[in-house]
Amino acid sequence: MKMTKILSFVLVLVMLASCFSFVGCENKEEAIEIKLWVSTTEGVSDLFMEQVEAFKAANPSYEFTVTIETVSEGDAGTEVLKDVATAPDMYCFAQDQIARLVQGGALAPLGVNASATVTANNDAGSVGAATVGEKIYAYPMTSDNGYFLYYDSRYISDEQAKTWEGIVEACKAAGKKVAYNLGEAWRGSGFAFAQPVGGGAPLCTSTWTYSADGKNPIALNDTFNSDNGVIAMKALNALATSGVWVDSTAFTGTAAVVDGVWASANAQGEYGDYMKATKLPTFTVDGKTYQTGSFSGYKLIGCKPQSNEKKAEICNALALYLTSEDAQLERYYEFGWGPSNNAAQGNQDVQGDPLLAALLEQNVYSVPQGVIPNDWWTEAVALYTACAEVGKTEADFRAALATYEEKVNAMIVK
C-alpha cells in the first residue's frame, strides 16, 4: 500500500515537472503561423519576405512564421470573401473592395493607437480610402492608381497646360490631338467630379451603400441630375466638340493625353525628352472656373479578425511595418509604386519623379473609388457619350441626366 502511494506521488511530480519544462503541456504556447497575400507583380513577394524578416529581426519577442502567396490586389477581396475562415491573415487589396470586406467580417478595425499612427503618417486620400464609417479598417500602402495630364512641351506651353481652353488652342495651332477617354467612365468622370477653383465640394457625387453581405446596392446618393451636372456636361461637350479631341489613350498624333503612370513608356516614346506631366487642367463654364477632378485608387493591407490576441497583435504590428516610410520607399525604388506615407512622398527622389509628382498633385482633387455596381459604369458611359455629341443644348443635357438618374436608381435592390 505504501509502495502504491509512493509511486502515485512520484507520477504526479513527473507530470508537474513536464508541464513546467521547455516542452510543457498546458503552458506551451501554440506556434503562430501567418499567411500573407501580396501582388502578383514579379519580385514583389521576394521583397515582402525580406521586409518580414527585417521586422522579425527588429522584434525578437514576436515568434511566428510567415507564408507569402501571390494574388492580384483586384481579386483579393473576392477570394477572401469566398471563405473568410480559411482566408489569409493579412492581404493586399484595392480600396474599392473595402466596404464589402468590412460587411463580410473580413477586416479587423485598427485600434486607437494604430489609427492615430496611420492618420498622422499617410495622405488624407489614402486614409479616407481605408475608412468605413468612423473606423479605419486597413493600412494604406500606395497612392498611385489615378490619372493626370501628359503633354508635349514642343507644342503646349506650361501655361497652356493649365487649362483645357489653352490645350485646345495649342493643339489647333500645332495640328495635334488631345486624347481623353470620355467613353470610359473611370477617366470620363473627371468633369463630374470637378471642384470650384478656390475650394468647394465636387460638382457631383455618386456614393453607393451595400447590403451587409456586400452583394447588393441598397441605397444611393447621386447628384448628377442637377444644375451642377449640367455644368459638368457643358464642359465635357466643349472639349468633345473642339475639333481636336479623340476618345482614346493612344499617344500617336497627340500633344496631350490623360492617363496614369503605367503609360510612361508610351508617352516617352511619342514625346521623348519633351514629355511633361501635371495635374488635370481647369475649365471655365458660364464665367466660373473649375478644377477637373478624377477617380483615385489606393492599395491597402488588411488584417482579418483573430481569436488569438497575440496573433492579432503581431499581424497589426507587421502591417504597420510593411506600410512604413522605409518599406514604402523600398517598393518605390524597386517597382515604382507611389507611396501613401507623407514622409516617403517628401523623399527627394519621389518629389523628383515628374509622374508621381503630377499624380500626387491631382490626388488632391480626386474622389476615392468606392464599391460601384458594374452597371453604373455602363450608364455613366452612355451619359458622357450622349453629351459629347455636336449640337447638344442645355435641354439635351438635362434630358440625358434625367435618363441616367432613372437608370442608376433602378440598380438599387429594395
Torsion angle (degrees, nearest 10) of CA 171, 176, 182, 187: -80
For residue 212, the model assigns a pLDDT of 65
259-278 average pLDDT score: 95
CB atoms within 10 A of CB 368: 21
Cα separation, 35 vs 74, whole angstroms: 18
User: According to the model, what pLDDT value does residue 8 have?
Assistant: 52
- Residues 136-156: tens digit of each pLDDT: 999 999 999 899 999 999 999
CA-to-CA dists, residue 315 to 88, 101, 122, angstroms: 11, 17, 19
State the pLDDT at residue 23.
Answer: 44
pLDDT tens sequence across 9-63: 444 444 444 444 444 444 446 789 999 999 999 999 999 999 999 999 999 999 9
Distances (CA, A) of 402 to 264, 301, 366, 384, 397: 38, 39, 25, 13, 9
Residues 73, 78, 79, CA angle at the centre, nearest 5°?
A: 85
Alpha-carbon span 329 to 355, nearest angstrom: 16
In the block, residue with C-alpha cell 500606395: 142
Q: Are the CB atoms for 368 and 285 separated by under 8 Å? A: no
Written as nine digits, the cell of 206 is: 455618386
C-alpha 406 chain-centroid distance: 29
Q: Are 268 and 276 in contact (CB under 8 A)?
A: no
**DSSP SS3 for 367:** strand
Least confident of 56-70, 101-115, 365-379: 365-379
pLDDT-derived band at 270 (thresholds 50, 70, 90) equals very high
- The confidence score (pLDDT) of residue 16 equals 43
* Distance (Å, whole) CA 407 – CA 35: 42
Cβ(136)–Cβ(118) below 8 Å: yes
**Span 300-326, mean pLDDT?**
98
Number of C-beta neighbours around residue 55 at 10 A = 20
CA angle 211, 69, 337 (to 5 degrees): 80
Task: Say which residues have a Cβ less than 8 Å from residue 313's Cβ, sequence separation at least 6.
Answer: none
Q: How confident is the model at residue 5 (pLDDT cuts 50, 70, 90)?
A: low
Question: What per-residue confidence (pLDDT) applies to 178?
Answer: 98
Least-confidence region, from 9-23, 193-207, 318-332: 9-23
Whether 266 contacts 347, CB under 8 Å: no
d(CA 347, CA 21): 51
N- to C-terminal Cα separation, the chain: 78
pLDDT at position 18 is 46
Mean pLDDT, rounded, of the chain: 92
When pLDDT is averaged across residues 234-250 and rounded to a whole number, the result is 98
How large is the average pLDDT for residues 234-258?
98
Q: CB neighbours of 246 closer than 8 A, spacing ≥ 6? A: 177, 178, 179, 180, 254
What is the DSSP-derived secondary structure letter of residue 122? B
Residue whose C-alpha is closest to residue 90's, from 276, 358, 300, 399: 300
Inter-residue contact 101 to 80 (CB < 8 Å):
yes
Q: What is the pTM of this model?
A: 0.79
Q: Which residue has the higher pLDDT, 1 or 288?
A: 288
The predicted pLDDT at position 372 comes to 86
The answer to whether 397 and 299 are in contact (CB under 8 A) is no
**Cβ(269)–Cβ(251) under 8 Å?**
yes
